Structure 1
Amino acid sequence: MRSWTDSLRFAFQPVVNLTTGTVAAVEILARPETGDVLARARREPELDGRLAALAIHDAARKETLLPLHVNVFAGTLADLGDLSALREAVRAVGRLPWEVTVDVGPPFTHVPQRALLEGVAALREEGFRICADGVGDGDVPLRLLDDLGPDLVKLDASLLARTASVRAMRTLCEESGALLAVEGVESELGCAAARDAGAQLAQGDLFAPAARLPSSEVYVPQLPTGCEAPRPAGPSVREFVRPAALLPESASAEQVRKLLTGAPEVSGVLLVDAAGVPVRSVQRDRFLLSLSARYGHALYADRPAARLGDRPRTVGVSATAWEVLDVVADGEHSRTADDVAVVDDGGRCVGVVRLADLVRALAESRVEEAAGLNPLTRLPGSDAVTTEVDRWVAHGRAFALSWLDIDGFKQVNDGAGFAAGDELIRAVGRALARTESETLRVAHIGGDDFLVLADPERLDPLVAAVLDVPWSAGGSPVTLSVATLVCPPGSVTDHRGAATRLAPLKQAAKGLSGASWVCGLAGREGYEVRRGAAVRGDASAVPAQKGASHAS
């Protein structure tokens, strides 16, 4: 008698890292040839659990080393808790739990939320990773999504047309430490939109359709020259994580050799303890060289591979690319090209990063930054600040945006000469650059105009650094004007809104005599004159007004 499993097949679809262009994992998709097995699985948690277990066994038969994604319904997880069938399958095929991501999918309606969260906690305690699947096209409540604390959020591709929603989801992911993926990407336009939205991962027929055999060969469109998205200083190591080849710390040298010779794309193997913590790192070339030496195979084949390994180099998942380079630089010169293990808060390996990926990305980042620097002051242009403003707005962070320029600069150039004018601009730029920190960013937006983004608490020392200094050009005294807009959380929607409100404050500051500082609060009329006085007899001067006080 034929069983329903006889007509069940599985397909594999790659999950692609959009930064490195490599396969980060494969999702296993059930493909029943007859019947309504998936519809039954939605109603029968035990059947759904068996499907997940069968998926793991099928992946083992295909001998893929890539991390796996298996799908379960939210109701199944709430009913079965720790998914014993899945756990047993993972153990039976020799996989480690942290190599498996459980994609929890809809429907979530009527699923007991407490039971679901307990089921997720049980899986996570075992080491499994959790993905919230079908977000944007399903029925997962936002509060539940936050409570789940997933390692990965998968968005439906239809959300790419709703940029505000995707931007909000990216912010949520950043705050919770999750990665953002987009499903169903079928065109290069969709891939570009996913990148622009800040997604780190994606899957869809554009990269590779679901197939009977897992594959590491995918098509990833290149970014058009000159259209690369700006990278933040110090990109997160999460953007460069590749799957790690893992074996137990007790593995023999022969086991490692078989893995390396059967997978030429693997550059090294990490030996991990029972908790998934890396204990030794085996680099491909050095290991194979040791075994190929005279009597090497006879000496080492049946002995623990750990003897031919090195102490692993590790970084946390919250590290930046620059911190990874520091780890590489502090190590032995002979290990410069070794992979670096990325570990979670519990020390368990979540993947590796390769030096080549980091160097390439950081080089591109520096080229982009250099192209945007003002040749006179070597300060970045307005994009550096406006991009940061949008990030602070998205994070609901209060900020102060200031516009600074030199009073009567045309007269300075006409009277003292352009060389003196250039030197004055450079001196102001140096003074502003000395105030830079993690909470203060400076841009030279052209001519004698500068833009400064800062925490409201940094305003007084910033202004003192430029207004309490006796400036001069060609022996004649020069004054500066500063206009500041303080923006509490939610008072502006992006940098354009802030710039629009800042413009009249600059006009007000320029209408005052001497070194001047005008400060306004987004959402309120008027402004406060902190420095300077109205020009006597000048009908066009803006009078000092109250009504906007410094808010921090």
Structure 2
Amino acid sequence: MRSWTDNLRFAFQPVINLTTGGVAGLEILARPESGDILAEARRQPELDLRLAVSAVRAAVRKETLLPLYVNVFAGTLADLGGLPSLHDAVREAGRLAWEVTIDIGPPYTHVPRQALLDAVSALRGQGFRICADGVGDGDLPLRLLVDLAPDLVKLDASLLARPAAVRAMRTLCDQLGALLSVEGVETEGQCSRARAAGAQLAQGELFAPPARLPAADVYVPPRSAEVMAMPPSGPSVREFVRPAALLPATASAAQVRALLTGAPDVSGVLLVDRSGVPVRSVHRSRFLLSLSGRYGHALYADRPAARLGDPPRTVGVNATAWEVLDVVAVGDRGRTSDDVAVVDEHGRCVGVVRLADLLRALAESRVEEAAGLNPLTRLPGSDAVTGEVDRRIAAGRAFALSWLDVDHFKQVNDGAGFAAGDELIRAIGRALQQAATGATRVGHIGGDDFLVLADPEALDPLACTVLDAPWSAGGRPVTLSLATVLCAPGSVADHRQAAACLAPLKKAAKALQGTGWVVGRAGAADHEVRRGSTRTPAPAG
């Protein structure tokens, strides 16, 4: 009698890291030669579970070391709970649970909410990672998505036609501590839009179609210049995470050697304890050099590989690329090429980052940043500040946007000379930079105009530092005008609207006598004068 598995095959589609261009994992897709077994699995939870177990075993037969994405319907989880047989299959295959992400797929309608959340909690307790699949083209309620708190959210590529929705989902993912992926990417334009909207991962025919064998080569379009620009605080380490080669802490040197010789792209192996916490780091070159020496194989092959390892270097998933460089810079210079382990809040390894990936991305960001600097003050232009304004608006953060300039600057130049005027502008730029703290951003728009973005609570100290200084050019006293608009979450749609709110405030500040400062709120008609006084009209006649 023929089994339901006789006409079932599995295909593998790579999930691509859009920052590094590397393969972050493999989604395993059931491909029946006849019939619609997936429709049956949607109705029969036991069949769906057997498909998931078979998918793991199929991956083992292909001897892939990449992390796996296994599909399970939401209804299956609600009916069967934590899927202990899947956990058993992963363990029997010699894989670790945190190397497997459970892709929870729709439909969610009529699925008992609490039963689903309890099942997800059980899976997390076993070490599995959780993905919410089909978001944007399915029936997953936003409230349930937040309650699931997935490690990964997969959006359908059709949403790329609505970039605001993708950016909003990226903001939500940042709040949840999740990565954002787009599936079904078929064109370079879609890939570019996915990057621009903030997606970190993607999959689709553009990179590699599903295939019986895990893809060895994938096509990833080059990053465009507008996508490479990064916030001054540095890109998140999440954007550079690669799959980690993991073995138990008790692994022998022979086991590590077998892994390394069978996977030439693996630069090192992390030895982890039962909880997935890295305990030793084995560097490829140093390890193989030890074994290749005289008597090396005889001395080490059957002994614990930990003896040939080093203490692991680790960073949290919320670290920035600059923080990773700080970790690499500390300690033995001979270990600068070692992978850095990225760990979650429990200390479990979720992947590694390579120094080369970080340096490449940071160098690109610095080139783009340098190209936009004002040659007089070496401050960034308006694009850097307005881009950060849009990021804060998308994140729902309050902010204060200010415009500062010199009163009657043309007269200053005409009276004191352009060299004195240039030195005044440089001095104001230096003062703004020195007064800027934390998340404050300073831009030089051109001429005597500066743009300042700050948190509302950081505004007063900065303004006082700059406005209280005795400014002069060529011995002539100079006054400044400062206009500030306070933007609460949801009060403006983008940086253009914020700038429009700022324009009448600048006009009001310029109408004051002496150094003036005017503060208003987005959407409000009135404003507050914090410095300066109203000009007295000249007497008639």
Distance 2:484 2:61 in 1: 64
What is the CA–CA distance in structure 1 between the aligned matches of 2:456 and 2:256, rounded to whole Å? Answer: 56
| Identity fraction in percent | 75
Q: Spell out, residue by residue over 1:103-131, the C-alpha distance to the aligned partner (whole angstroms, 9 max, x if none).
A: 00100000000000000000001110000
Judged with a 3 Å threshold, the aligned counterparts in structure 2 of structure 1 residues 322 and 439 are, in CA distance, closer, same or farther, namely: closer
Whether 1:2 aligns to 2:2 is: yes
Q: Is the 8 A contact 1:466 1:480 kept in 2?
A: no
Aligned pairs for 1:86-165 (under 5 A) are 86-165=86-165
Alignment of 1:227 with 2:226, yes or no, is yes
- Report the 3-state secondary structure (helix = DSSP H, G, I; strand = E; otherwise coil) of the residue aligned with 1:55: helix
Equivalences for residues 310-349 of structure 1 within 5 A:
310-349=310-349
2:9 counterpart SS class? strand
Match of 1:192 in 2: 192
Deviation at 1:512, TM superposition (A): 1.5
Farther off after superposition, 153-162 or 325-334: 325-334
Q: Which amino acid aligns with 1:34?
A: S
1:166 maps to a residue whose letter is: V
Q: Tell whether 2:80 aligns with 1:84.
A: no
- Equivalent residue letter for 1:227: E
Distance in structure 2 (CA, Å) of the matches to 1:36 and 1:360 = 46
CA distance in structure 2 between the aligned counterparts of 1:351 and 1:488, rounded to whole angstroms:
38
Measured after TM superposition, the shift of residue 538 of structure 1 is: 6.3
Where in structure 2 are the equivalents of 1:239-250 lying within 5 Å? 239-250=239-250
Report which stretch shifted further, 139-148 or 248-257: 248-257
C-alpha separation between the residues in 2 aligned to 1:128 and 1:406?
59
Which residue type is aligned with residue 290 of structure 2? S
Whether contact under 8 Å (1:481, 1:516) holds in the other structure is yes
Q: Does the 8 Å CA contact 1:14/1:216 hold for their aligned counterparts?
A: no
Distance 2:538 2:340 in 1: 66
**1:297 alignment partner in structure 2:** 297
SS at match of 2:205: coil
Which residue does 2:46 correspond to in 1? 46
Asked if 1:32 is matched to 2:26, the reply is no
CA distance in structure 1 between the partners assigned to 2:45 and 2:209 by the alignment: 28
Aligned partners of 1:8 and 1:31 also within 8 Å: yes
Amino acid at match of 1:430: R
Residue 101 of structure 1: SS of its match in structure 2?
strand
Equivalents in 2 of 1:320, 1:460: separation in Å? 29
- Give the distance between the partners of 1:250 and 1:144, measured in 2 at CA: 40
Q: Are residues 1:176 and 2:173 paired?
A: no
Offset of 1:257 from its aligned partner? 0.8
Give the match for residue 16 of structure 2. Answer: 16
CA contact (8 A) 2:228 2:364 kept: no
- Conserved? CA contact 1:23–1:216, under 8 Å: no
Q: For 1:200-255, what per-residue CA distance to the aligned partner results, in whole angstroms no more than 9, with x for missing partners?
A: 0000000000000112411000124x434311132111110000011111111111
| Alpha carbons 2:200, 2:239 under 8 Å: kept | yes
Provide the alpha-carbon RMSD of the alignment: 1.1
Residue 444 of structure 1: aligned partner: 444
Specify the code of the residue in structure 2 equivalent to 1:192: S
Partner of 1:493: 493
- How far, CA to CA, are the matches of 1:63 and 1:241 in structure 2? 22
Q: Which amino acid in the other structure matches residue 496 of structure 1? A: R
Q: TM-score, normalised by structure 1?
A: 0.96
2:403 and 2:449 in contact (8 A); partners too: yes
Instruction: Report the number of matched residues.
Output: 538
Q: Deviations over 1:268-309 (max 9, x none)?
A: 111111111111111111111111111111111111111111
1:158-197: CA deviation from partner (whole Å, max 9, x where unpaired) = 0000111111101000111100000000000110010011
Q: CA contact under 8 A between 2:195 and 2:227: conserved in structure 1? A: no
1:418 aligns with 2:421: no
Query: Gapped runs of 5+ residues in structure 1?
Result: 540-552
1:69 and 1:180 map into 2 onto residues whose CA distance is: 15
Letter in 2 for 1:367: V
Match of 1:265 in 2: 265
- Could you tell me the TM-score, scaled by structure 2's length? 0.98
Which residue of the partner structure matches residue 360 of structure 1? 360
* 1:466 and 2:463 aligned: no
TM-superposed CA distance for 1:461, in Å, is: 1.5
Matches within 5 A, 1:338-417: 338-417=338-417
Counterpart amino acid of 1:74? A
Q: Which residue of 1 aligns with 2:255?
A: 255
Contiguous gaps of at least 5 residues in structure 2: none
Distance 1:218 1:437 in 2: 43
Moved more, 365-374 or 176-185: 365-374
SS at match of 2:403: strand
Secondary structure of residue in 2 paired with 1:125: helix
Q: What amino acid sits opposite 1:383 in the alignment?
A: D
**Paired residues of 1:22 and 1:216 also in contact (CA < 8 A):** no
Distance of 2:227 and 2:200 partners within structure 1: 14
- Is contact 2:196-2:227 (8 Å) kept? no
